[in-house]
Amino acid sequence: MTNLETTTVFVYGTLRTNHSNWRNFLAPARGVTATTAPKYTMREWGGFPAVYANGETAITGEIFAADHETLTHLDRLENHPNWYKREEIEVTDSDGNTVTAWMYVMPQSKTQGEVIESGDWNDTIHTLYIGSDHRWRAWQ
């Protein structure tokens, strides 16, 4: 990262460590495991997840430090604010610390897909994609 000023982003899908978009946008940094409060719903959109506000599930993901340039690239990837909306939330990291971070949330008007009860995309990709005839894989 070239800019010394950073912000924190919470990612829960293809931007997580060793997933497809991580390589293009956040590598070589490794994310720190974090979890939201249980007030969201995660849905499977066929190759990537979407998180919606106003649910009852804690979302598992990772936090990364992101400079302005990286955040701009992530906004473009997530088509913020036209597709996902970037919202500031609080998460709890693996050491129990509360961290303020940006998370990309899907508007309720775009609800579709099966609910991921665990709130963890890694659980779903192993069930739906690994070992199936689908070519997309998480490389963990």
**Per-domain residue ranges for the chain?**
6-128
Q: Which two tokens stand for residue 49?
A: 């997840």
Range 6-128 has CATH code 3.10.490.10: yes
One DSSP character per residue, 11-62 reads E-STTSTTSHHHHHHTTT--PEEEEE-S-EEEEE-SSSEEEEES-SBPPEEE
62 annotated active-site = no
pLDDT digits (tens, 9 = 90+) for 96-132: 999 999 999 999 888 888 999 999 999 877 554 444 4
Catalytic residue among 69, 78, 87, 114: 78
pLDDT over 90 percentage in the chain: 76
pLDDT digits (tens, 9 = 90+) for 41-66: 999 988 899 999 999 999 999 999 99
**CB of 60 closer than 8 Å to CB of 12:** yes
